[in-house]
Amino acid sequence: MPRIVPAEAPYPPAIATELERIMPKGMEPLVLFRTMARSPRVFDKMFAGGLLDKGPLSLRQREIVIDRTTARLGCEYEWGVHVAVFADRVALDTDQIAALVHGSADATCWARDEQALLAAVDDLVDHRTIAAATWTGLAAHFDETQILEAIALVGYYHTISFLCRGLELPLEAYAARFPLAPQSAP
């Protein structure tokens, strides 16, 4: 049971309009969105700061950053929604999906540019900065606008992860679940 009961339809007109805009046809608004609707100010600010539009990163790169951030922060709710909605669209295979949760940034299932993004996420989540070597790797593959986008995504989904976890949101029924950690050999 979430700590704040999500709003139910009918929603206030401004919130209903925004939910209609962001949700795929026929899909119930996410528990996260309906919970944020309890505070029209927070709801409005959350969507005003959203980064799900077309940006300087490819859709695949964006999703790798979001999925790694939410996984590293233990936010199965948001990770699961993104994997369920976007993994097929961005061609994330089973090994990559598992590596987002349990793998190292330099896992061989990733291209070099993807490894650079994963390392940046790990640095930001673990140390709240980007190490010089990680920055050099990023700069070898991405321009300034792409790097800024990646950092902003990590920050935005850090906030989303805190909201989901702090509110103890129940997982969406259709969302992916964190894969089990691989068993180490004796």
Question: Shortest CA distance to 117 belongs to which of 91, 82, 154, 85?
Answer: 154
Question: Shortest CA distance to 119 belongs to which of 130, 28, 18?
Answer: 130
Same domain for 76 and 139?
A: yes
Query: pTM of this prediction?
Result: 0.92
Question: What is the C-alpha to C-alpha distance for residues 137 and 130, in angstroms, rounded to an integer?
Answer: 11
What pLDDT sits at residue 5? 95
What pLDDT sits at residue 46? 86
Same domain for 66 and 40?
A: no
**Series of mean pLDDT values for 10-residue runs along the chain (186 residues):** 91 92 89 94 83 85 98 98 96 97 97 98 98 98 97 95 96 95 66
What pLDDT sits at residue 114? 98
Same domain for 93 and 24?
A: no
- Tell me: cis bond preceding 40? Omega within 30 of 0 counts: no
What pLDDT sits at residue 45? 86
Same domain for 42 and 70?
A: no
The tokens of 13 are what?
């007109």
- The answer to whether residues 161 and 73 touch, using CB atoms and an 8 Å cutoff, is yes
What pLDDT sits at residue 184? 61
What pLDDT sits at residue 139? 98
The tokens of 32 are what?
């996260």
- The answer to whether residues 137 and 149 touch, using CB atoms and an 8 Å cutoff, is no
User: Based on the structure, what is the number of domains in the chain?
Assistant: 2
Owning domain of residue 29: 13-48
